[in-house]
A = this chain, B = another copy of it.
Amino acid sequence: MKRILLLGAGRSASSLISYLLENAPKENWQIRIGDIAVTHLQAMVAPLPFAEILQFDIHNAEQLAQEVSQADLVISLLPAIFHIEVARECLKQEKHLVTASYVTPAFLELHEEAKRKNLIMLMESGLDPGIDHMSAMAVIKKVQAKGGRFTSFKSYTGGLVAPESDNNPWNYKFSWNPRNVVLAGQGTAKYIENGTYKYIPYHQLFRRTEELYVEGYGHFDGYANRDSLSYREPYGLKGIPTMLRGTLRRKGYCQAWDVFVQLGLTDDTYTLEGSENMTYRSYLASFLPPASGATQSIKEQLSNYLSIEIDGEVMQKLEWLGIFTDTPVGLTAATPAQVLEKILKEKWVLEPGDKDMIVMQHLFEYELNGESHALTSSLVVIGDDEVHTAMAKTVGLPAAILAKLLLQGKIQYRGVVIPILPELYEPVLEELKQYGVDFMEQEKVLV
């Protein structure tokens, strides 16, 4: 019998939990699921002899130590900042760990000790990071085996709303942490294009988009992620002249989002004076220059300030959010970003029955036998409903499958590892196909 401890049972854990519970009997697993709030799992887990839930508080170090001591493997879907504490406890008690979050410098420091203790800390095993690495590496290995030399790799991922549930002018609903959506892209985006390093400051990011097309799903806009450079080496693309990783949104979203960035509404570094007395309209007014006349409406002021057509699509998107109305903000000592998040959360809701959608597209260019090739690998995953979302499937299933492989003794690598090795990604990509996570490739010779 193997004992799995899952920490974190929030919205993106649903498919991982289902997978663990389905596989537990034949794999002979005992499963404990801990989260600060677990009552939503009670009905599902209660009849199962091989599963338990527990109220878990990551700030309770004693509880963490106690739970880890009883496990053979820990999976953490907690907010990313808490993983390092879980990892240190796992290392201390010599337990394997799987997470869907980024390897941070603090994790790199654990690599040697993990190796020495014959443990694996398997990171970046979700969607992005996760499936993006695995699917990219599958293409890269295949092309390199033929002797191809890559000249360009751009990769975009977006968590969006499915076409059948897409009924708002932003063509967007929240399928993961709203706060992260509001703060997305802050800092400087760094990539390389034709051998030249490129830097995009945050306030230009949503203006510097690239248009993408996914067959059957239409057009998208992609904006660059902060760091497109650090994966060149692990991907085996060290000298590649062009490399960019980015995020996808439906066409028109970025242009409208840019209004928030230009105004300063996404700033999370200071609190607004008297936010508790603000309305959406007065909040907006705090970021506008003084009105040029007493009769100017706030829409006219905004239109003048940022050269937005008063009846155009951008203004319609803003209007739909209710941002020009006198709805009370109702938050004390809030940052601009917190107020914006509140406004968006009321509108961008995945309603009961709504389906979300994950879109990923890799665009490769490579040279082989004197010819230039363009290879596109695309993935679209539609959620089942507002609980078993495409986000939950694509974040949770790769981590779950890797956990299974690990407990089956099929993973030999040790240390802090990401799934860029064939031993890891090949069986995962294969099994994911059963769950509708299947890439479509298109290739053509460039003339």
Query: Which residues of A does B touch, CB under 8 Å?
Result: 187-188, 190, 193-194, 196-201, 203-204, 208, 229, 262-264, 267, 269-270, 272-274, 282, 285-287, 289-290, 336
A197 touches B262 (CB 8 A): no
Show 16 residue pairs from A and B whose CB-CB distance is below 8 angstroms, ordered by the A residue: A188-B264, A188-B267, A188-B270, A193-B290, A194-B290, A196-B282, A198-B289, A198-B290, A199-B264, A199-B272, A199-B287, A199-B336, A201-B262, A204-B262, A204-B264, A208-B289
Instruction: State the copy count for this chain.
Output: 2
B269 touches A197 (CB 8 A): no
Q: Which residue of B lies closest to A189 (CB)?
A: B264
C-alpha gap A269/B193 in the complex (Å): 22
A263 touches B201 (CB 8 A): yes
Q: Which residue of B lies closest to A194 (CB)?
A: B290
Contact of A286 among B199, B229, B273 (CB under 8 A): B199
List residues of chain B with CB within 8 A of the CB of A282.
196
Contact of A197 among B196, B272, B289 (CB under 8 A): B272
Chain B min CB distance to A326 (Å): 14
C-alpha gap A229/B272 in the complex (Å): 12
C-alpha gap A336/B197 in the complex (Å): 13
**Contacts A196-B282, A197-B272 given; does A262 touch B203 at CB 8 Å:** yes
List residues of chain B with CB within 8 A of the CB of A289.
198, 208
Chain B min CB distance to A45 (Å): 46
List residues of chain B with CB within 8 A of the CB of A270.
188, 190
C-alpha gap A341/B359 in the complex (Å): 43
C-alpha gap A286/B290 in the complex (Å): 36
**Contacts A188-B267, A269-B188 given; does A274 touch B201 at CB 8 Å:** no
Q: Which residue of B lies closest to A201 (CB)?
A: B264
A197 touches B264 (CB 8 A): no
Q: A188-B264, A197-B272 are in contact. List 19 more A-B contacts (CB 8 A).
A: A188-B267, A188-B269, A190-B270, A194-B290, A196-B282, A196-B286, A197-B273, A197-B274, A198-B286, A198-B287, A198-B289, A199-B264, A199-B267, A199-B286, A200-B264, A200-B287, A201-B262, A201-B264, A201-B287
List residues of chain B with CB within 8 A of the CB of A274.
197
List residues of chain B with CB within 8 A of the CB of A285.
196
Q: Which residue of B lies closest to A264 (CB)?
A: B201
Chain B min CB distance to A178 (Å): 21
Chain B min CB distance to A198 (Å): 6
B290 touches A201 (CB 8 A): no
Chain B min CB distance to A432 (Å): 34
